[in-house]
Amino acid sequence: MQTFPLFLDVRDRRALVVGGGEMAARKAELLLAAGARISLVAETVNGEIAQLIADARLSWAGCAFEEGELDGVAVVIVASEDESLQARVSAAAQARGLPVNVVDRPALSSFIMPAIVDRAPITIAISTGGAAPALARRIRAEIERTLPAALGRLARFAEIFREQVRRTLVVPRARRRFWDRVFEGRVGELALAGDEIAARRELIKLLDGVRSETPSQGMVHLVGAGPGDPDLLTLKAHRLLQRADVVVYDRLVSAEVLAMARRDAERVYVGKRRAHHCVPQHEINDRLVSLARAGKSVVRLKGGDPFVFGRGGEELEALTAAGIAVEVVPGVTAALGCASSAGIPLTHRDHAQACVFVTGHLKDGSVDLDWEMLARPRQTVVIYMGANALAAIASNLTAHGLPGSTPVALIENGTTENERRVVGTLSSIERMAQRAHFSGPTLCMVGEVVGLALGRDQEFRFESRIGL
């Protein structure tokens, strides 16, 4: 986060606007809408700003800027094209610790004016940190089309009952679930439609029903987080993350995906890596059971897909045996995500009529796989967690018939901005991996499709996602 988002209360407080043109008028109108009392500093005025003065909506002395104009001011906006004036006002305001914005000059500003979606009392602000204001305006337009014009009416309706709901439902989690039911159900529909009497009646009925409900046992959702790119998260996964009381996650879940969870959700890290289990699997199972029995909605967030080398099957068994309601939400597994990101087709009519997923180490840490099956021609072999066993993988595959020239790709941190790739052959890939010094989660792909996608006119190559 480049800047800290903050909403400033300027009701009945003095705001200073420097400038007398169209841009000054735009900023003055925003401040007036927020209830500010505006003093204007400009030697000349024109257009809409002159009309605001004529309508007595702001005060104008018709003079140049003097530092005394900053006395008693809560916020300063400079909407003048005079660069020397911009610098002088900015320096004077910041010397006093006053928030100041110089239009289109982020280097002179202590805060950025966002693009605004106004559904009073709901206000949505979009900022690019001053980098691309036009993009912020485009995002605002997209949000404007999505949100009902009457959304503010729903917020004002909820405010009427806020204190009553707080007294009735003392547990914050119960209150949140109640309001979810209000906003997503018939009460919300009636309030948005303007039928406040019917909405009040339905809300009171719902509140009475919730008050008499027996606390229920929670539920666990085994959710696939995908390979790392947050845009590959499913819509259902995103919705569950927004509703979860607790998110239990491992090291393969990217920070960007984890950020999709509700801000106040509890986060429990149970990360594991090869030969270093932070939390044993049986303890993870027990933790999920206890959280659900405490009545919490739990998202067990797992990298890739829960049922593809994610031990989701073990957790499903433990939860079912304990009588806990559980739902599995599939995710984009690493093989699909990494292959797409690298442009490698896992199957191809002329080169690979089968695709096999295997793990690079078994439960006991060995790599005792069905090498004869894996070395068959005209198929793609995707090896999860195989970076530390490349020597054994390459030697066994060649010993069982695959040529040393068979193309191999290693993809680290696939689909993310930190993605790196090493492309070589069975005979060269171990050497290439050592030179690359991979430390993140790495997927290994073996087969003719690797050469088809990335070129066979070289023995190997190294690529970074950035700059490709």
Q: Which residues are tagged catalytic?
A: 250, 272
- Measured CA to CA in angstroms, residue 11 lies from 38, 57, 75, 122 at distances of 11, 14, 12, 16
* Contact partners, residue 142, CB within 8 Å, separation at least 6: none
- The token duo for 75 is 């916020």
Tell the residue number behind the tokens 């930190």, with chain if given.
Answer: 418
Burial class (CB in 10 A: 0-12, 13-18, 19+), 199: buried
How many Å apart are CA 162 and CA 172, to the nearest integer? 12
Q: Are strands 219-224 and 442-446 parallel, antiparallel or unpaired?
A: unpaired
Contact partners, residue 262, CB within 8 Å, separation at least 6: 241, 242, 243, 244
Closest CA to 380 of 412, 339, 340, 427: 339
Compute the distance between CA of residue 103 and CA of residue 113 in angstroms, rounded to an integer.
Answer: 8
Is 198 within 8 Å of 185 (Cβ atoms)? no
Q: Residue 328 has which token pair?
A: 């599995």
Q: Is residue 377 a contact partner of residue 446, using CB atoms and an 8 Å limit?
A: no
Helix axes 172-184, 196-211, angle to 10 degrees: 140
Please check whether residue 379 is in contact with residue 354, taking contact to mean a CB–CB distance below 8 angstroms. Answer: yes
- Residue 153 phi/psi, 5-degree rounding, is -60, -40
Structure tokens at 347: 């199957």
Task: State CA 27 to chain mean position distance.
Answer: 31
What lies within 8 Å, CB to CB, of 110 at 6+ separation is 93, 94, 98, 99, 100, 101
